[in-house]
A and B are shown apart, each in its own frame.
Chain A
Amino acid sequence: MGGGGGRHRPQQFQSEIKGARHDRRRDPENCQCEQIFRRHPGVEEREFRVAQGEIHALAGENGAGKSTLMNVIDGILQPDSGEIIRDGEAVRISSPAVAQHLGIGLVHQEIALCPDVTVAENMFMAATNVSRSFLMDYNALRKKAKIVLEELADINPATLVRDLSISSQQLVEIAKALTLDCRVLILDEPTAALTETEAQVLFAIMRRLADRGISIIYISHRMAEIFDNCDRVSVFRDGQYIVTYNVADIEPGDVVNAMVGRVIDKLYPEKQSPAEVSEEIVLKVDRLSEARRFQDISFELKKGEILGFAGLIGSGRSEIVKGICRLEGDVAGEVWLNGQKLALAEYADSIAAGMVYLSEDRKGDGVFLDMSIAENVSALDLDQISGFGGLISSSKEHGLAERLGRTLNLKYGRLSDPVSSLSGGNQQKVALAKMLSVNPKLIFLDEPTRGVDVGAKSEIHRILRELARAGVGIVTISSELPELIGICDRILVVREGRISGEVAGEAMTEENIMHLASVLDHRKQTA
């Protein structure tokens, strides 16, 4: 299941759909292909319609019910009430196989491929499943895969999925859906792991498919993508369908306001004022190198500033940060924290020195999903919640989690609930609370708002700024350039394992950063 693990259940919809407002801007005559989701016919209707050949964006915070609705349409979850209407006929989609038969294809948010078989076999898994022939025809499979992949990306269909980068895997996932000859294609945050160039290729393909009459439902948190590529956008909030707009008629702010249900006046917190600029150096990294992945990294972080790391996926930005705090790699070079040279052998030493790393992969290695909130928050330093003889004090542990939960405005039921019961944004706050539990001097944040909704996102941005003001060093990595530009005071750009340039102030534009990040331009080296 996608989205927030097993948390979303169809029942949520029942109550959510009730009390809905009717909204139907589009003339039903034009809808040759429509999906309708409603509680009771005749009573207040809550419908979500997709027209043929359009790219229809779905926006909403995490937990708003987008992924749940898509899972219902794909037959993974069953609706408690209401119906799905396809080409004017009510259909019952009892399983993904039925959805496939109806021409509905879903690309999940999370990659669900078999790592140990080839790209081609993965792409045609569904076709193989229904095939009547006894033997596999690998040659034909590879050829067909090549044709589909040709327009998408430069991936050899014979490679094992295990050997591909995350972004390539995401592309294979999309290619897999393209093999399904579907009439309705659902893409759940497909660009989360893609580079800018790859995303552009994907958008071009989406447009081509739409021109062929295929309807595309496109789920994304990124306003720019929605406004550049989609025809209409429907907004969901708290499990309710709110409204559908024609993209041409509105501004990004309208969508954001509909998503959060209130007016967000500022997307990003205030930056460092000139008066706040300090010459005090929190972190100094001197000629840090790791054999294969990065070379000769030197930079300084001043007190009170937020430093960003930009670069394409695979450029080495995460590796550099992990190398600094000795999470992985055999690293040479010096690291100075608050004027003291650190002798680090492993990550535990880095934590002890006050330097922590917030992982980019929340579910994979950021939190312990099946352990409680309190147990998660205390993981970095058990000593502070234990007393005599290394015995854990439950009240101290809960006290710590409660205090940090309040600081971060964490929404939870009980501290003993497993983290898997929280929404993405709140899970990320638990991961952040984990970091804050050791009163760090410096936090490295790798994609701090990945998969986090708009509301929680701006909250996390605000928290980062407050931490920086309080003197905590903040170094953040993000693939989302607007976010990086919005929150950082200075950005270092990484390309092929080296720092290729630095931008600050007015020079912090997407163009400048992409210039420094892309391999094409070797001349423009700034200091």
Chain B
Amino acid sequence: MDSAMEMSAPKPGRGGTSPLKKLFRMRETGLIAIILTLFIVMSLASPYFLTWVNMRAMAMAFAVEGIVVVGMTILLISGGIDLSVGSVTALAMVIGGWLYLHGVDPWVASAISIAACAGIGAFMGFFVTRVGLHHFIVSLAVMVIARGICLLATGGRPLGLYTLPPEFKFIGQGTIGPVPLVIVIFLVVVVAFDFALRRTTLFRKVFYTGSNEKAAAYSGVRTKRVIFSTTTLCSALCGVAGIIYMARFGSAQPTFGIGMELNVIAAAVIGGASLSGGSGTILGAILGTVLLSVVSSSLALLDVSVYWQDIIRGSILLSAVSIDHYLHKVRA
């Protein structure tokens, strides 16, 4: 690679390739810097911030949602979007809980529930790739339908699942040493998908498809299959998240996850995913999730009204995306 660089004349105005500069250019670095700054400021502002209990609570808050963020990021990279993630996560809880209350073994019920969510994703994928509708519309419809099913099946009341066996509740409540199992699952999912996205040929096709669907098709990529798969994967990960929530809360809440899609999409976009497809990383998206979570937690500790929190979260999204857009323009 180096010899190739010497072969041709360097372009003026472009930085060198030193790893430091490269690191500096990465969006992840910026996010980490912001998060660290927040940590320092907050630990000075509140004695409770930098405590094990608070850290653990914060991690628990974003860990499960983070699994959905992973699915959303991959879907965004392929050029899609999914508004139904909140409803589908709730539906996963309701299906699992309903089956359990009707005598199905909780493990089997969970498997069926996750499969059903994957089925919903496949259903959406069908409408997008075969019927030719836009992701936005299809997932908007499914978002409402799935919520409707949740309410219909439960009569609008949470299903109490206090009788779930302890080994099942362990998924959501147990710890390995001092670390909650939820966080372990989250980390495994993140590391696995981040690696897969960076290195496997399978996921490279997701980037090609999202970057330019027609060019991908003209390169022999089966783009419809790719979009179908990413749509299904996103919903399946919602299913996984729903089951973890169910185990953690010991109940199935039909109204859970309202507004979750906005948080999830915001996190992915703050982390560098583009709504027009073709770019994004899991690491970035997770850092976006962490950032939003740290901000929420900080504001709560500082006794800021919940209503302010939404305003601030929205402003963070807007500024993160604006700064990124500006930097892109400067670099180009």
On A, residues with C-beta under 8 Å from B are: 6, 327, 346-348, 350-351, 357, 359, 364-371, 375, 379-380, 382-383, 386, 389-392, 398, 402, 405-406, 411-415, 421, 434
Are B207 and A371 in touch, CB under 8 angstroms? yes
- Residues from chain A with a CB closer than 8 A to the CB of B17 are 414
- Cβ-defined contact, A390 with B202, below 8 A: yes
Q: How far is the CA of A391 from the CA of B208 in the complex (A)?
A: 16
Q: A369-B212, A371-B211, A383-B201 are in contact. Are A402 and B4 (CB under 8 A)?
A: yes
Binary CB contact string for chain B from 179 to 205 against chain A (1 if under 8 A, 0 otherwise): 000000000000000000001111011
Distance of A392 Cα from B200 Cα, bound (Å): 6
User: Given contacts A371-B207, A413-B11, are A365 and B218 in contact (CB under 8 A)?
Assistant: yes
A359–B215 CA distance with the chains assembled, in angstroms: 9
Q: CB distance A434 to B10 under 8 Å?
A: no
Chain B residues whose C-beta falls within 8 Å of the C-beta of A364 in the assembled complex? 214-215
- Let me know if B218 and A357 touch, CB within 8 A: yes
The reply to whether B199 and A392 form a contact with Cβ atoms under 8 Å apart is yes
Segment among B47-55, B59-67, B219-227 that sits at the interface with chain A: B219-227
Answer whether residue B311 sits at the interface, using C-beta atoms and an 8 A cutoff. no
A379 contacts B221, C-beta separation under 8 Å: yes
CB of B201 within 8 A of CB of A412, answer no
Q: Give complex CA distance A411, B5 in Å.
A: 10
Chain A residues, CB < 8 A from B26:
none
Shortest CB distance B195–A (Å)? 9
Contact residues in B for A375 (Cβ distance below 8 Å): 204, 207-208
Give 1 or 0 for each of B276-318: 1 = CB within 8 Å of chain A CB: 0011000000000000000000000000000000000000000
Instruction: Decide if A347 touches B218 in the complex (CB within 8 Å).
Output: yes
A371 to B204, CA, bound (A): 11
Q: Is B8 an interface residue (CB 8 A)?
A: yes
Contacting residues, chain B, for A327 (C-beta < 8 A) = 217-218
CA distance A357 to B218 in the complex (A): 8
Complex Cα–Cα for A398 and B17 (A): 15
Q: Across the interface, do B279 and A370 meet the contact criterion of CB distance under 8 Å?
A: yes
B residues near A411, Cβ cutoff 8 Å: 8-9
Contacts of A365 in B (CB 8 A): 212, 214-215, 217-218
Name the one of B10, B201, B204, B220 contacting A413, with C-beta atoms under 8 angstroms. Answer: B10
Pairwise interchain contact A390-B215, C-beta atoms closer than 8 A = no
Interface contact A402-B8, CB-CB below 8 Å? no
B216 within 8 A of A: yes
Contact status B201-A386, CB under 8 Å: yes
Contact B220 A380 (CB under 8 A): yes
Question: Is B14's CB within 8 Å of the partner chain A?
Answer: yes
Question: Known pairs A368-B208, A371-B208, A392-B204. 12 more at Cβ < 8 A?
Answer: A6-B332, A364-B214, A365-B214, A369-B212, A375-B207, A383-B201, A390-B200, A392-B199, A392-B200, A402-B4, A413-B8, A413-B11
Chain B residues 1-28 with CB under 8 Å of chain A are 1, 3-5, 7-11, 14, 17
Q: Does A382 contact B205, Cβ atoms closer than 8 Å?
A: yes
Instruction: Return chain A residues, CB-CB under 8 Å to B217.
Output: 327, 347, 365
- Is B5 a contact of A414 with CB atoms below 8 Å? yes
Closest to B211 in A: A368
- List 3 tightest A-B contacts by C-beta distance, closest first: A382-B201, A365-B214, A379-B219
Q: Are A413 and B14 in touch, CB under 8 angstroms?
A: yes
Is the CB–CB distance between B5 and A413 below 8 Å? yes
Shortest Cβ distance from B212 into chain A, in angstroms?
5
* Complex-state Cα separation, A351 to B205, whole angstroms: 16
A367: chain B residues at CB < 8 Å are 212, 215
A359 neighbours in B (Cβ, 8 Å): 215, 218
Contact residues in B for A347 (Cβ distance below 8 Å): 217-218, 220
Residues of B within 8 A of A390 (CB): 200-202
Set of chain B residues within 8 Å of A369, measured between Cβ atoms: 211-212
Give CA–CA (A379, B220) in the complex, Å: 8
> Given B1, B199, B208, B218, which contacts A398 in the complex, CB threshold below 8 Å?
B1
Residue in B closest to A421 when the chains form the complex, CB atoms? B11
Bound CA–CA A348/B208 (angstroms): 15
Distance in Å: Cβ of A409 to nearest Cβ of chain B: 10
B28-71 interface bits toward A, Cβ cutoff 8 Å, 1 = contact, 0 = none = 00000000000000000000000000000000000000000000
| Known A-B contacts A391-B200, A392-B201, A398-B1; A379 and B208 likewise in contact (beta carbons under 8 Å) | yes
Which residues in A have their C-beta under 8 angstroms from that of B218? Answer: 327, 347, 357, 359, 365-366
Contact of A371 among B4, B199, B202, B278 (CB under 8 A): B278
Across the interface, name the chain A residue whose C-beta is closest to B201: A382
Of B4, B212, B279, most buried by chain A (CB within 10 Å of CB) is B4
Q: How far is the CB of B21 from chain A (nearest CB, A)?
A: 12
Cβ of A370 and Cβ of B201 under 8 Å apart? Answer: no
Q: Which residues does chain A contribute within 8 Å of B201, judged by CB atoms?
A: 382-383, 386, 390-392
A380 to B23, CA, bound (A): 30
Residues of chain B within 8 A of A6, CB atoms compared: 332
Instruction: Kindly report which residue of chain B lies nearest to residue A12, judged by CB atoms.
Output: B12
| Complex A-B: 24 CB contacts under 8 Å | A348-B220, A357-B218, A365-B215, A366-B215, A367-B212, A368-B278, A370-B211, A370-B279, A371-B208, A371-B211, A375-B204, A379-B208, A379-B215, A382-B201, A386-B201, A390-B202, A391-B199, A392-B200, A392-B201, A398-B1, A405-B4, A406-B7, A414-B4, A421-B11
Closest partner residue, chain A, to B213 (CB atom): A365
Which one of B201, B208, B215, B332 has the greatest number of beta carbons of chain A within 10 Å? B215
Whole-angstrom CA separation of A337 from B217 in the bound complex:
22
What chain A residues lie within 8 Å of B279 (beta carbons)?
A: 370
Please report the C-alpha to C-alpha distance between residue A398 and residue B7 in the assembled complex, in whole angstroms: 15
Q: Within 8 Å CB of B9, what residues of A?
A: 411
Tell me, in angstroms, the Cα distance from A402 to B8 when the chains sit together. 12
A386, B202: Cα distance in complex, Å: 11
Contact A402 B1 (CB under 8 A): yes
Q: Which residues of A contact B219 (CB under 8 A)?
A: 379-380, 434
Which of B14, B200, B278 is in CB contact (< 8 Å) with A370? B278
Closest to A348 in B: B220
Partner of A415, one of B4, B14, B212, B222: B4
Q: How far is A390 from B208 in the complex, measured between Cα atoms in Å?
A: 16
Closest CB of chain B to A1's CB: distance in Å? Answer: 11
Closest beta carbon of chain A to B222's beta carbon, Å: 6
- What residue in chain B is nearest A371 (Cβ atoms)? B211
* B5-A368 in contact (CB<8A): no
Question: Are A415 and B10 touching (Cβ within 8 A)?
Answer: no
Contacts of A392 in B (CB 8 A): 199-201, 204
Task: State the CA gap A58–B242 with chains docked (Å).
Answer: 64
**Complex alpha-carbon distance, A351 and B219, angstroms:** 8
> Which residue of chain B is the closest to A391 with respect to CB atoms?
B199
Q: Who on chain A is nearest to B7 by CB? A: A406
Bound-complex Cα distance A398 to B4 (A): 10
Does B8 lie within 8 Å of A382, measured CB to CB?
Answer: no
A41–B131 CA distance with the chains assembled, in angstroms:
63
Q: Which A residues touch B332, using CB under 8 A?
A: 6
Nearest A residue to B279 via CB reads: A370
Q: How far in angstroms is the closest Cβ of chain B from A443?
A: 13
A327 to chain B, nearest CB (A): 7
**Residues of chain A within 8 A of B222, CB atoms compared:** 346, 348
Interface pair A415/B215, CB less than 8 Å apart? no
In the complex, A383→B222 CA distance in Å?
15
- Chain B residues lying within 8 Å of A406, measured Cβ to Cβ, are 4, 7
**A351 pairs with B214, CB closer than 8 A:** no
| Closest B residue to A368 using CB positions | B211
Nearest CB of B to A133, in Å = 36
Of the candidates A6, A347, A359, A414, the one having the most CB atoms from chain B within 10 angstroms of its own CB is A414
User: If the complex has contacts A368-B211, A371-B278, A413-B8, are A382 and B204 also in contact, measured as CB distance less than 8 A?
Assistant: yes
